[in-house]
Every structure is written in structure tokens, then in C-alpha cells.
Structure 1
Amino acid sequence: MTAWAALALIALATVPAAGLLAKARWTWRTPRAGIVLWQALGLAWGLATIGALVGFALEPLGRGVLHGLFLLPDDGSLLSLPRQLVLLAGMAFAGSLIGSLLLSGFRVLRARARHRALLRLIADRGMRADALVLDHPQAAAYCVPGVRSKIVISKGTLELLDDGELEAVLAHELAHARERHDLVLLPFTSLPRIGLVARILDSVALLIEMRADDRALRHRSPKELAKALLRFATAPSASAPSCALAVAHEGSAVMARVQRLLNPAPRPLLARSAALLTSVLLVLTPLALWSFH
């Protein structure tokens, strides 16, 4: 089997694999490994798809994908018109992925800059040393990530939660800021939110929230965080800006997190190790096939 055919098979296989992973529940027990596996699966899909298109187009050069690209300026005339079109399609696909990622990142950075400017005008910096407080009656708690991340809560949140619950929420948001979960989400949010992509984004977002929950439990009790999530889910709450990571959303995702906090399951060491090993193989295999000829 040629390298480009193997890459095509990998690209095709990642689609049903993503569907299965989106339905998986073992990842809830080890969310960090699940996040890494999602990142590896997405990267493998991109590398394999681009490699398959470019590898097929450059097959007459007989040097594989990577070496063929270096030979292209001198030997490109050896390619037939159909293969030249496939090569253009592969390069256009690669460009669209990179362009979408850069555009999404630019929009997020611009939205965060605007929101930070707004916070400088309306947020109370003296009420709490660990968060900015908004004078709003509804509950809101979110993190605006960045080099200097900001944790924002509303006065409605201060009235809704007791001290322990509030500290649990702040620990959750601090976990988002320290682990830069916004960067984890960025490649997935740069794709159109339709069909399988929407389910993938929901799955990754839930795992990120669960990972932040786990970090918060290093400092607060599961009961405190679970009660805070339930209060947010049942009380009138203000939606967080699109450029931020909120502590809770309405729906089944919150209940899944609450159940996980109150009924913790043993962390599967074997599944976690297998997920990390699979992640490494998912990334290295397409890269190796890019160099194969």
C-alpha cells in the first residue's frame, strides 16, 4: 500500500472514531486523557487528509509527500492536469484549516480585548482581590483567558452562593486560566458547528469543564462545587460572553458534572495509559507516512 493510500484510510477512519469518542463515557473518569486524545484525533485527521491529497498528486515523482514537495519546483511539470488539480485541492484544504484557525483566534482576541476594556469601566476591583465584580443581579461567573486572565463574578453570584461554594467556583475558573483551556477549544471552534463537529465541540467542552472541576477539588470539596453548579443551573443567570469560559451552563452537561462530583468513579489507569499511547500513535503515524516513499 502506498503512503497516500494509508493516509487516506487514516483520514476516513478518524470520522467514525470521532463519532464513537463523542459518545464515550470513560473519558469522564479521566478527562485530561480524553482531551489529549481529542486533540490527537483532530491533528491526525488534518495531517492524513492533507497528506493523502498531496501524496496522490505527487505520486509520479516517486518520493512521497514531504520529499515530493521539495522536488515540486523542479519536477512539477511531470504531473498531469488531474494530479495538479488534486495538489491544489490539498493545498487549498491546508490553507483553509490554517486560515480558519487564525481567523478564529483573531476574532477571539479582539472580543476579549473589547470585553477587558468594558470590564475596566464597569467592574468593581476593590470588592474582591481574586476576581472582578460586576454590579448585576443575575448569577454569572466566568474566566476571560489570556496572558493576564481575568475571573469575573456578579453581585448576584455573591448573593447566591455561600463562602465555600464561591471559593469552589473561583477555583474552577482559576483552573481554566492556568491550563489555558481556551487554546484547547480554539481548533474545534474554528470549524463550522454542524453535525458531527457540533457533537465533538460539545464533548470537548464538557471534558474541559470536568478537568477544571478536578483541579478545583484540590482545594474545595466536591459537595461545595456540586451545590454551586446546581444553584447556577436553577437560578436566573446571565450568559457569559462568547470569548469567556463560564462555570456552568444549563442542560444535561451540568447534571453530568454534578453526578460525577457526588458519585466519583475510580480513575481507569489502563484506559488513561491506552488513550495517551493512542494519541502518540495518531500523531506519529501520519507524520511517518509523510516521510515515507
Structure 2
Amino acid sequence: MMVPLALLLLGGLVATLAPRVLTRADWPDREPVVALWVWQCAVSTVLLCCVLAMSLSAAAAWEAVRGHVFALAPSGVVEAYALASYRPWAAPLAVLLAFGAVWTGAMLTREIRLARARRRRRRAELLVRAPQLPGEAPGAGRLVVLEGERPDAWWLRGRTAPRLVVTTGALRRLSDSQLDAVLAHEQGHARARHHWLLHCSSALATGFPQVPVFAAFRDQVHHLVELAADDAASRRFGRLTTALALVELNEDRGVFGPCPTQLSQVPGRVHRLLEPAPRLTAARRLRLTAVAALVPAAPLLVTFVPGLSALR
């Protein structure tokens, strides 16, 4: 059985079907947390197929690798995989997939380094615009106010002192409850570790621009994490308050005009908050979560079926 080829076909099938199914479905915007989970399972399945195909191809090509891959397996299990049948093309395939794995790691490392550099730059700019007062502890307080006419607010992550940075223009336009909603929105990003999802999706899309599933994953993650954070804020302070906070922060940026900018998803987010679609039932959410969790098991099943059959 050509298990590596079966794994690559399975990975290609998931990579083709997942974006089509998920982008055409009407429920992801209603359940962004579940949708993020489904996307992660789909992408993990594609990557797992590649890793398993690489391992079996390398085992077929090189005796040393085979000894490690099948170290604990009985001798009959190795014969069940018929490694000799695809040995002629196993080495090129293993090298190609290994290069893809190394390239993925390099892209992720690059993405994290760029994000850290941006964060250091923003911290340095913040220290210039809001220097520490005498006797003030480093990073004291979770709210920093900057002079600025433009209404703006953002969450500045940090290991010891993450803070919400808000301009005086935003303070003039936001009520206390709206400011709390903005803080809850940003805290929702931090609690769910959305930055790691953003890093991983951007690394895959940048490293493999010709693979549509990775580009769709990046686009959907950037969209869904905002919806999930909106929901986190609206659960605490109400949908109307959260929607008004979004309007006040973005009204002067042209996102509601006849020619919206790249931030044009903001009107959709406001509309979603003001006219929410009914949520899925708990049973359907559970089914979607369970089915998505089973998808990464498919490549494991394809990989281990020949060995398990040999043990019977």
C-alpha cells in the first residue's frame, strides 16, 4: 500500500474542501470560536499528512531512519508497509517534505521576530510619549493615556505589564462603558492567545503563497478573532455598547463611507452586533467541535491501518 501517497492525497483533499466548505457556510460568523477550532483542525490535518508522509518516505529511503520510525514495531509490521515498492521515489519526496517543514519553521520564526520588533518599537515610542514619572513602578497601571486628536486604542502585550493604550481623542468620544468594552475586547484577544493564531496563519500563508488553504486560513483567522473578541466584550457590556465603541473609534477613518478602506470589515462587525443572528444550538456546536477533532485522526488511521492489520 502506498501510504505516503494516500496521505498526500488525503491532505490535498482536506486542503481543497475545507476552504470551500467553511467560506460558504453561514454559521462561522455566528460561532467564531467554533469556526477557529474547525480551521485549526483542518490545517493541522494537512500538516500532519505531510509530516507522516515524510516520515514513511524517509523510512523507505534510508535504513537508519527506518530503524527509528519502526523501533518498537514487530518485524511483520515493517513488511506490511511494503517500503521497497516506493523506495525509488521515496528519497526525493522525503527531502522535499523535509524542506517544507524547515521552511515552515523559518517562516514562523521570522513572523515572531517581526512581531517582537514591532512590539519593542511601540514600547519605545510609548515611553517617549508617556515617560515614567518619578517613583512610578515600571509598567504600573493597565491604562496609558496619550495625547492625540485621533480616537485610537490598542492593547500592548507584555509578559509582566500588558496595558491598554488610549488617546485623549478616544476618551473624549467614548463613554466609560464603551471604554470598558474596548478593554474587554482587547483582553479577549489576550486571553485566547489570538496572537499565536495570527502568527501561525501568517507564517503559513507567507511561506506557501501558492497553497490556497493557507491563504484562506490567514484571512479567516484575522476576521474570526475580531468577531470572537467582539463577543467577549458584548457578553460583559452589551452588544449596543460594543457596537457604539467600534463606531466611535472608526468613524473618522472612512470605513463607513461610500468608498470604505481596508478596514471595511468594521461595518459588518457593527451590523452583526446590532442585529445578531441566532446562535447555533449547544448540541450542534458540540457536534461541529467533535467532528472537527476527528478530522486529524484520519491521517493517523491511514498511517497505522497497515501495521494494525499485520498484528491481527
* Contact 2:61–2:90, Cα closer than 8 Å, also in 1: no
1:233 aligns with 2:250: yes
**What is the one-letter code of the residue matched to 2:249?**
F
- CA–CA separation in structure 2 for the residues paired with 1:209 and 1:57: 41
* Secondary structure at 2:100 match in 1: helix
Gaps of 5+ in 2: 73-77, 79-83, 134-139, 255-260, 308-312
**What is the one-letter code of the residue matched to 1:83?**
A
| CA-CA distance at 1:111 after TM superposition | 2.2
* Percentage of pairs with the same residue: 28
CA 38–118 in structure 1, closer or farther in 2 if over 3 Å, else same: same
| CA-CA distance at 1:2 after TM superposition | 4.4
* Contact 1:54–1:86, Cα closer than 8 Å, also in 2: no
- CA–CA separation in structure 1 for the residues paired with 2:215 and 2:151: 27
- CA–CA separation in structure 1 for the residues paired with 2:296 and 2:132: 44
CA 251–231 in structure 1, closer or farther in 2 if over 3 Å, else same: same
Question: For residue 128 of structure 2, what is the aligned residue in structure 1?
Answer: 121
* Contact 2:57–2:91, Cα closer than 8 Å, also in 1: no
* Contact 1:4–1:52, Cα closer than 8 Å, also in 2: yes
1:3 aligns with 2:3: yes
Scaled by the length of structure 2, the TM-score of the pair is: 0.76
| CA-CA distance at 1:5 after TM superposition | 3.4
* Secondary structure at 2:149 match in 1: coil
**What is the one-letter code of the residue matched to 1:137?**
E
| CA-CA distance at 1:99 after TM superposition | 2.1
**What is the one-letter code of the residue matched to 1:39?**
Q
Question: For residue 237 of structure 2, what is the aligned residue in structure 1?
Answer: 220
CA 192–61 in structure 1, closer or farther in 2 if over 3 Å, else same: closer
Gaps of 5+ in 1: 238-248
* Contact 1:66–1:290, Cα closer than 8 Å, also in 2: no
* Contact 1:51–1:65, Cα closer than 8 Å, also in 2: no
1:136 is aligned, of 148, 165, 176, to 148
- CA–CA separation in structure 1 for the residues paired with 2:70 and 2:167: 54
**Which region of structure 1 is more displaced relative to structure 2, 37-46 or 96-105?**
96-105
What pairs up with 1:1-293 in 2 under 5 angstroms? Answer: 2-16=2-16, 17-56=18-57, 58-59=59-60, 68=69, 80=87, 82-123=89-130, 129-148=141-160, 149-193=162-206, 194=209, 196=212, 197-236=214-253, 251-268=263-280, 269-292=282-305, 293=307
| CA distances 1:270-292 after superposition (whole Å, capped 9, x unpaired) | 44223211221122332444445
| CA-CA distance at 1:213 after TM superposition | 1.1
| CA distances 1:179-230 after superposition (whole Å, capped 9, x unpaired) | 2211121110112455734443221111111111111123211111111212
* Secondary structure at 1:132 match in 2: strand
Scaled by the length of structure 1, the TM-score of the pair is: 0.81
**What is the one-letter code of the residue matched to 1:266?**
P
- CA–CA separation in structure 2 for the residues paired with 1:289 and 1:145: 42
Question: For residue 257 of structure 2, what is the aligned residue in structure 1?
Answer: none
* Secondary structure at 2:183 match in 1: helix
* Secondary structure at 1:190 match in 2: helix
**What is the one-letter code of the residue matched to 2:198?**
L
Aligned residue pair count: 276
RMSD: 3.3
- CA–CA separation in structure 2 for the residues paired with 1:116 and 1:178: 21
**What is the one-letter code of the residue matched to 1:155?**
T
**What is the one-letter code of the residue matched to 2:183?**
L
| CA-CA distance at 1:236 after TM superposition | 3.8
* Contact 1:233–1:250, Cα closer than 8 Å, also in 2: no
CA 258–282 in structure 1, closer or farther in 2 if over 3 Å, else same: same
| CA-CA distance at 1:261 after TM superposition | 1.0
